[in-house]
Chain A
Amino acid sequence: MQIEMKNALPIVARLTRHGRACPGHQRASPNGVGARDKRGHDGRYAISMTISAFLCAILSFTPAHAYKAYVSNEKGNSVTVIDTDKLEAIATVKVGRRPRGIALNKDGSELYICAGDDDAIQALDTKTLKITGKLPSGPDPELLALSPDGSIIYVSNENDNLVTLIDVKKKEMIGDIPVGVEPEGMAVSPDGKLLVNTSETTNMAHLIDTQSKEIVANILVDGRPRFAEFKQDGSELWVSSEVGGTVAVIDPVKRELKQKISFDIPAMSKEAIQPIGISFTRDGKRAFVALGPANRVAVIDAETKKIEKYFLVGQRVWHLAFTPDEKYLLTANGVSNDVSVIDVASLKVLKSIPVGAFPWGVVVAPQ
């Protein structure tokens, strides 16, 4: 069933030039070409190798943009695989307990899954969809980020107030950094020099020098910071505060808070607006922010910080991911157990795809 992607592999390598935080997303170069898989999946992966090889022969002639999205289902203890061309779930893989943060490795061949209740990070082979091993993570890993070269995984260990460093090749823990209470959000700057961790109860963004492995700044943000994301050019770091209801814009060079973005939805109580996932378009002009129980995603002009639009998605929208061609934005909706597919050009919700129980993180990779 797996498609030999001779022509796709280098693209994968290119577009995942730097590692992303778990619920973030892999990006394709604008003219990236993937292999299209029109009817390859029967949902159970039962097609014989012969048919598979035959399909590949046909499909390799079809230039298109079909990608695979992976969604972690926190209470389903599974990962749902979505075909972004067909816009449907094509497989559900049983994984460790309480999977939340997920991230792809550099070439997209492995998906790392934070299995919080198993105190481990599992590696899923994205071709065979089998768990191939696990990395030592320290207790209760929640979110992870990869170094730009893919050699180090940084993990937030929620129960121990630590950020753990893991050598991917050696599968060894190579250090930890004490941070605030309930560390969660993780992001690495595009140049790999700065790691940021947010601590949900301490209410800080901890900026960590990846060379010295020391905290260089602690920036107070509003209540329960959940997620951090760098702009692609490294000029800004955005941190969402779920309970505070704001997004903090941080200057990573000056290491200070620039401004806070608040949200205001008519006829909705302020308390229900709880920003979580953040995704920037590659050109850095627009940001999409998931607003949790407000069941909406905000579209923000990332330069003026003005909110352009709110649109309705599923219930308790959690994390977001673009397809590499930025045609679609996928949202994991924790309460309605589905993924909303947003057409980025028209800013319309095209479809809801049912997934497992309590979808949490979402990442997209080329097939």
Chain B
Amino acid sequence: MKSLVAAFCLLLVAAPVAAETVNVKVGVLREAHSRETLSILDIPAADDTLAGALMGAADNNTTGKFTNQTFETIDAKLDEGDNVVAALDSLIEKGALFIIADLSPERLLAASERAKSKGALLFNVSATDDRLREEDCRANVIHVAPTRSMLADGLAQYLVWKQWRRWLMIKGSHPKDELLAQAFRNSARKFGAKVVEERVYEDTGGGRRSDSGSVQTQRQMPLLTQNAPAYDALIAADESEVFGGYLPYRTWDPRPVAGSAGLMPTNWDPAHEQWGALQLQNRFIQTFRRLMNARDNAAWLAMRMIGEAATRTASNDAEKLRLYMLGKDFSIAAFKGVRLTLRPWNQQLRQPILLSDGRIVVSVSPQEGFLHQVSELDTLGVDQPETKCRLK
């Protein structure tokens, strides 16, 4: 458990200012992510997600010096068997009514249920499940992480722009792999691509990153991809990190890989530098001696959204801040080239999707030419007319 309180100093101010210091306490409720990643570069650090929140709080505290507000981060890390409700209660007891949640969908919904009676507001920074914004949407959850459908649409727009419209899709055998595969199917239909064939890679529990791994995978992947109908791009739906990373350079036909490997859609990449992002990357590296991943960035952004709303409303009231964030005056700068706003119907943050090959940001969606009557960002993901969300 860590806490960070920044000192504040009173200065002359002309901005909306609370007469006395307003303290905003933000809990970071996070579970451990798998260390079984295909690449050791993706093994999460001990301060995964938390680091982003801490940096956001430091930013907010710098602003707070002028507005008489302080921001405090309270960390709560869950182990596998830990009870999320108990951890949430403990955070709320300490005064944290804003919760940055890096949780599985099940735990997030349980936390939301509990938070309802306590008046706490959750910020989902990692769960990409569309159902959390649709049939299972909740009024006390704001979604900073993009959905699978937003990620898939971001990739699909680029592939269609490239005229790579015929996709061979290989999906993993776990439920969340199927959810991602479904998102890719929907995107193909939406943007005029075609999944020419689907295959499943069964997870038989073999050792990842084992000594003989490269020999095995070098033989397996061509077999997995041979005898396919004509296709332009191989789409990997492997959220479970079982095989996707092994596909590039090992396919039977020489084809680009996209999805869970190769060209990957994401809300943030440590190689992203456009629109001043280099600034954020530099600050993060200097402070935490590591690169900023997508969860860190979403946590930073959640903290910044809280800070921005608190600054503009001169308040720390969770409901007041939520209503401000949903209003027309709210927008947030996130080094993505455009201002980000919330979709009021399901409290999902609109955002561009980066397409990264792991070294370079190849492109950023929405792609030029995909138009929308409200915001081009709404060409990504489930749009208002299709939503099943009834906020309650």
Q: Is there an interface contact between B276 and A180, defined as CB atoms closer than 8 Å? A: no
Q: Which of chain A's residues has its CB closest to B304's CB? A: A201
Q: How far is the CB of A104 from chain B (nearest CB, A)?
A: 26
Interface mask (A182-214 → B, CB under 8 Å = 1, otherwise 0): 100000000000000001111110110000001
Provide the main secondary structure of the chain A interface: loop
Q: Is there an interface contact between A223 and B62, defined as CB atoms closer than 8 Å? A: no
Q: How far is the CB of A215 from chain B (nearest CB, A)?
A: 6
Instruction: Report chain B residues within 8 Å CB of A206.
Output: 66
Instruction: Report chain A residues within 8 Å CB of B312.
Output: 220
Q: Is there an interface contact between A218 and B15, defined as CB atoms closer than 8 Å? A: yes
Q: Is there an interface contact between B339 and A218, defined as CB atoms closer than 8 Å? A: no
Q: Is there an interface contact between A269 and B62, defined as CB atoms closer than 8 Å? A: no
Interface mask (B266-283 → A, CB under 8 Å = 1, otherwise 0): 000000000010010011
Within 8 A of A (CB), among B312-354: 312, 331-333, 337-339
Interface mask (B115-130 → A, CB under 8 Å = 1, otherwise 0): 0000000000000000
Q: Interface residue tally of chain A, by bracket?
A: 35 or more
Given the contacts A159-B286, A181-B62, A224-B333, A271 and B13 also touching, CB distance less than 8 Å: no
CA distance A56 to B378 in the complex (A): 62
Given the contacts A217-B12, A223-B332, A178 and B339 also touching, CB distance less than 8 Å: no
Instruction: Report chain B residues within 8 Å CB of A272.
Output: 338
Q: Is A243 among interface residues, defined by CB-CB distance under 8 A?
A: yes
Interface mask (A251-282 → B, CB under 8 Å = 1, otherwise 0): 00001100000000000011110000000000
Q: Is B107 among interface residues, defined by CB-CB distance under 8 A?
A: no
Q: Interface residue tally of chain B, by bracket?
A: 20 to 34
Instruction: Report chain B residues within 8 Å CB of A207.
Output: 14
Q: Is A350 among interface residues, defined by CB-CB distance under 8 A?
A: no
- Cross-interface CB contact of A181 among B13, B63, B376, cutoff 8 Å: B63
Q: How far is the CB of B231 from chain A (nearest CB, A)?
A: 33
Given the contacts A220-B15, A244-B339, A245-B339, A178 and B65 also touching, CB distance less than 8 Å: yes
Q: Which of chain A's residues has its CB closest to B278's CB? A: A98
Q: How far is the CB of A77 from chain B (nearest CB, A)?
A: 15
Interface mask (A231-242 → B, CB under 8 Å = 1, otherwise 0): 000000000001
Q: Is A216 among interface residues, defined by CB-CB distance under 8 A?
A: yes
Q: Is A219 among interface residues, defined by CB-CB distance under 8 A?
A: yes
Of A178, A201, A217, chain B has the most CB atoms within 10 Å of the CB of A201
Interface mask (B37-52 → A, CB under 8 Å = 1, otherwise 0): 0000000000000000
Given the contacts A220-B312, A271-B376, A158 and B62 also touching, CB distance less than 8 Å: no
Interface mask (B177-211 → A, CB under 8 Å = 1, otherwise 0): 00000000000000000000000000000000000
Instruction: Report chain A residues within 8 Å CB of B67.
Output: 218
Q: Is B308 among interface residues, defined by CB-CB distance under 8 A?
A: yes
Q: Is there an interface contact between B63 and A200, defined as CB atoms closer than 8 Å? A: no
Q: Is A136 among interface residues, defined by CB-CB distance under 8 A?
A: no
Top 7 nearest A-B pairs by Cβ distance?
Answer: A271-B338, A217-B14, A243-B333, A202-B63, A224-B333, A218-B66, A243-B339
Binding site for B on A (CB under 8 A): 140, 158-159, 161, 178, 180-182, 199-204, 206-207, 214-220, 222-224, 242-245, 255-256, 269-272, 293
Some 30 contacts from A to B, beta carbons below 8 A apart, are A140-B282, A159-B283, A180-B62, A180-B66, A201-B333, A202-B62, A202-B63, A202-B311, A203-B333, A204-B15, A206-B66, A215-B11, A216-B12, A217-B12, A218-B15, A218-B66, A218-B67, A219-B14, A219-B15, A220-B15, A220-B311, A224-B276, A243-B333, A243-B339, A244-B331, A244-B333, A244-B339, A256-B14, A270-B375, A293-B337
